[in-house]
Chain A
C-alpha cells in the first residue's frame, strides 16, 4: 500500500471511532423514537453517498467515452463497487430502521423506491462488468450504463413522486446537538468511502497493469515461435 494511502486509512479509522462515540454517547436520544433513531446517523449519510457516488460514476463514464483512458474506467469501476456497498447498506439500514418506527420492513415511498432502483442499476453495472471479457469491452458497456443510469435516476424519482398521493416522509428539523453529530457523521463516512475507493482503484490499476504485461508477454512468446 502506498504510504499516502496508509495515512488516509488511519485518519479514516480515527474519524469513524470518534463518530461512533459521538453517535452513541454524545447525541441525545430522540424524543419520539428513542434510541433507534441513532440509525439515522448511519443510514442517511450512506443514502446520500450512494446517490453522490453514482453521479460521479456517470460523470466519469462521460469522461471515459471522450478520452478513452483506462485509468478513468478503473476509477469509475472503483466508485461503482463502493457505491453498490453504500446503496445496499442504505437500503438495509433503512429497512431495519423502518421496522420499529413504521411497523413495516418496506414501503413503496418515492425515495425508497428510487433508492431500490438505483441499487438495481448499480447491480446491473457490476454484473455487466463481470460478464464481459476484456477491459476495453467492459469499459464501454459500463460507461453506457453509467451515463444512462445516471440520467434516469432523477427521472425515476420525479415519476415515482408524481405517482404517490401521500405526502413526503419525515422532514427533520434537527436540534443543533443532533445536527453536529449528523454533519460529522457525513464527514466520517465520506472519508471512509473515499479511502475505500482509493484502495480499490490502486488494486484495479495493478490488475490492469498485469493484464497488459500478460498481453505483451503473450505477444513475445508468439514472436519467438
Chain B
C-alpha cells in the first residue's frame, strides 16, 4: 500500500501546485487564443478553409501547450532532484513513471477540456460528441507516456528548454495526425467504421509505448 500512497502524493503535489497558482492553465488559455489569432492573420483563408483546418488548428494548439505542460510538471522536480529522492526511497521506477505520466495526463486533459469550447466558438466547427473523447484520451495517453521519458532525456542536455520541443514534436507526429483526422471525421456525418483506421494508429501507438517507455525511463533515471 505504501507505493500507492507515494504515487498519490506525487500526483497530488503537481496538481495542487497548479490549482493554487493556476499558472499553466491560464497561460495555455492565453497561448491557445494567441495561436488562433496569429494563424488567422498569418494564413489567408476563406470561411470554408477555416472550417476545414479547424481540427488541425485545434490540435496544433493542444500540442504546443502540452509541450509547455511537460516542462511545467518537471520543472520543480529537476530543480530539487525530487525524482532522485523518490527513487532512493525505494519506490519502483515504473511507479515513478506512472505517477509523472499521470500528472501530465491530468494537466493536459483539463487544459483541453477548457480550450475545446473556446475553439469551437472561434473556429466555427463542432466536433462535440462522445466520440471526441476517443482522440482526446488516446492522444493524451500517448503524449504523456512519451513526454515523461523525453523530459528526463532532455534534462541530460545543456539547454533542456530548447531540446524538449525539438525532441517531442517529431515523435508525436503519428498521434497528432491521427487525432486531427479523427476530429475531422467526427465533425461531420460519419459512420464508426470511418474511424477504425485511425483508432488502430492511436491504440497501437499507446500500447507500444505503454510497454517501452517505463522500461526506458527505468534505465535512464540514473543521474
Contacts and interface: CB of A to CB of B under 8 A. Distances in A.
Consider the complex of A and B and state whether they touch directly, i.e. have CB atoms less than 8 Å apart: yes
Interface of A: 65, 117, 120-121, 124, 127-128, 131-133, 137-138, 140-141, 144-145, 147-149, 151-152, 155-156, 158-160, 162-163
Contact of B220 (A117, A144, A149): A144
B149 interface: yes
A121 B157 CA distance: 16
Interface stretch (B10-18, B96-104, B112-120, B168-176): B168-176
B6 interface: no
A127 B166 contact: yes
A65 B170 contact: no
Interface of B: 146, 149-150, 153-154, 156-159, 162-163, 166-167, 170-171, 173-174, 177-178, 181, 197-198, 201, 204-205, 208-209, 212, 216, 219-220
Contacts of A117: 170, 173
A132 B158 CA distance: 6
Q: Is the interface of A mostly helix, strand, loop or mixed?
A: helix
15 contacts: A124-B167, A128-B153, A128-B167, A131-B162, A140-B219, A141-B154, A141-B157, A144-B149, A144-B220, A148-B146, A148-B212, A151-B212, A152-B171, A162-B197, A162-B198
B194 to A, nearest CB: 11
Q: Is the interface of B mostly helix, strand, loop or mixed?
A: helix
Nearest to B162: A131
B153 to A, nearest CB: 5
B147 to A, nearest CB: 11
Given A65-B216, A159-B177, A132 B156 contact: yes
A117 to B, nearest CB: 6
Contacts of B163: 127-128, 131
B220 A128 contact: no
Contacts of A140: 153, 156, 219-220
A128 B157 contact: yes
A152 B153 contact: no
A141 B178 contact: no
B181 A163 contact: yes
B97 to A, nearest CB: 13
B158 A155 contact: no
Contacts of A147: 212, 216
Nearest to B152: A144
In the A-B complex, the 3 residue pairs with the smallest Cβ-Cβ separation, listed nearest first, are A137-B156, A155-B174, A131-B157
Contact of B201 (A120, A137, A158): A158
A26 to B, nearest CB: 40
Contacts of A159: 173-174, 177-178, 201
A65 B219 CA distance: 7
A5 to B, nearest CB: 32
